[in-house]
Chain A
Amino acid sequence: MAAANITVSETPLVLYTLRRADDALILGHRLSEWCGHAPMLEEDMALANMGLDLLGQARELYTYAAKVEGRGNDEDKFAYLRDVRQYRNLLLLEQPNGDFARTMVRQFFYAAFADLYWRAMMRSTDATLAAIAAKSEKESAYHVRHSSEWIVRLGDGTEESHRRAQGAIDELWAFTGEMFEVDDSERGLIDAGIAIDPATLRPQWLKAVSDVVHEATLVLPDNKWMQQGGRSGRHSEHLGHLLSELQSMQRTFPGATW
């Protein structure tokens, strides 16, 4: 019999921590899909390494969420035994890898945000979140540098790489607004100094992203309309497919270990 979904009591701090953990797990899983398929060996290692960093961040965050929740859940149950509607990650991060340009644009948009976000979160009044932030910001710094270099190389490369990079920017742009959204649940944590307000990072993010995109001879779209829903469990159809692969072993053989 397939394993049932767990129930999660989403107090503000549990929900906050799960959102960041889900971001890291889902993007990390997407990057792991490149393993053995990247255009060259160094890039295969780079994508797997970035995925590993994110998986590590996810584990620390899930473990902390489990501790805060205190209801017997753990990192594995959060990852393997929640369904699509229980996942709280950004829509951007569940978008399919597409071609290499699309993967890099997704990575770049997110890493440029995560770099600023985790650095700011080092000031959190929550000692565990501040410690996770201190580690994550160093890793994010590598991710943003690596993806920035690729944006420039692709945009200012051949006609074909330029076309693909611009196409990826145009397609993914509407998913970037969600990174800066704050709901009531999170507002309380921000007021308490536990979380930081991501909206305050938006001008810096936009400048960092614009500078690289400009250097790459690419352009950011004009459209202001932004897609959202991931933070409250309303996902694109892609997440279900991702989870069916990620969770298949634990759903089929509950509790399996090796």
Chain B
Amino acid sequence: MVTAIHSDSDLRRRAWEAAAQVVDPEIPVLTIADLGVLREVEVHDGRVEVAITPTYSGCPAMNMIALEIELALERAGMPRPTVRTVLSPAWTTDWMSDDGRNKLREYGIAPPQASRSRRALFGEQQVACPQCGSQNTELLSEFGSTSCKALWRCKACREPFDYFKCH
């Protein structure tokens, strides 16, 4: 019995590590662990079940991510894994790791600001340019190239940039 429990926890740890390496297909510098999309890994009768939570309701990357998790686990020698979606509690950009925020910035996308309150969505936002760091920026469009991004422009270096929206 003891051995079985140990091997389950070992399998769960290895499964988490494998799943955590899966990246967001639209922002390949971020893993699903960085994003906070990976919620739980369970082992039932030696089979792995991974729970993920969707980011934006219509994000088409979620189907791809689920498939990539299954492939990653199969490659790591875990047969017939399953991925289930959990809706509650609802994902928020506050779950993004600090490491993830830094990686986003280095990639050229301004990371989401911590949302102190929902109505922060409506306040004046100060978004720093990910290229030059200037705070002298302006919003071009609240809807950008993917559902998680808005389009901004830096008035100092004149470069347009993506901003990962608070959610």
Binding site for B on A (CB under 8 A): 42, 45-46, 48-50, 52-57, 59-60, 119, 127-128, 130-132, 134-139, 141-142, 145-146
In the complex, what residue of chain A is closest to B62 when comparing beta carbons? A56
A166 to chain B, nearest CB (A): 26
Contacts of A138 in B (CB 8 A): 118, 121, 167
A146/B143 in contact, CB under 8 A: yes
In the complex, what residue of chain B is closest to A51 when comparing beta carbons? B58
Contacts of B60 in A (CB 8 A): 52
Q: Helix, strand, loop or mixed for chain A's interface?
A: helix
Q: How many A-B residue pairs have CB under 8 A?
A: 78
Selected from A48, A53, A134, the residue in CB contact (under 8 A) with B90 is A134
Docked CA distance A180–B87 (Å): 27
A52/B58 in contact, CB under 8 A: yes
A56/B59 in contact, CB under 8 A: yes
Contacts of A48 in B (CB 8 A): 143
B57/A136 in contact, CB under 8 A: yes
Q: Can you pick out 10 interface pairs between chain A and chain B where the beta carbons lie within 8 Å of each other?
A: A52-B60, A53-B56, A56-B58, A56-B59, A131-B89, A134-B90, A135-B167, A138-B121, A138-B167, A142-B121
- Please provide the chain B residues from 137 to 167 with a CB less than 8 Å away from any CB of chain A in the complex: 140-145, 147, 151, 165, 167
Q: Is B16 part of the binding interface, using a Cβ–Cβ cutoff of 8 Å?
A: no
Selected from B88, B121, B147, B167, the residue in CB contact (under 8 A) with A52 is B147
Docked CA distance A250–B56 (Å): 27
Given contacts A53-B57, A146-B142, 4 further A-B pairs with CB under 8 A are A56-B54, A59-B57, A131-B87, A141-B122
Binding site for A on B (CB under 8 A): 54, 56-60, 87-91, 118, 121-122, 140-145, 147, 151, 165, 167
In the complex, what residue of chain B is closest to A134 when comparing beta carbons? B90
Contacts of B89 in A (CB 8 A): 131, 134
B57/A45 in contact, CB under 8 A: no
Contacts of A131 in B (CB 8 A): 87-90
B118 to chain A, nearest CB (A): 7
B88/A46 in contact, CB under 8 A: no
Contacts of B59 in A (CB 8 A): 56
Docked CA distance A137–B167 (Å): 10
In the complex, what residue of chain A is closest to B53 when comparing beta carbons? A131
The 3 closest A-B pairs by CB, nearest first: A56-B58, A56-B57, A131-B88
A141/B141 in contact, CB under 8 A: no
Contacts of B56 in A (CB 8 A): 53, 56, 135, 139
Contacts of B141 in A (CB 8 A): 42, 45-46
B164 to chain A, nearest CB (A): 14
Contacts of A132 in B (CB 8 A): 57, 87
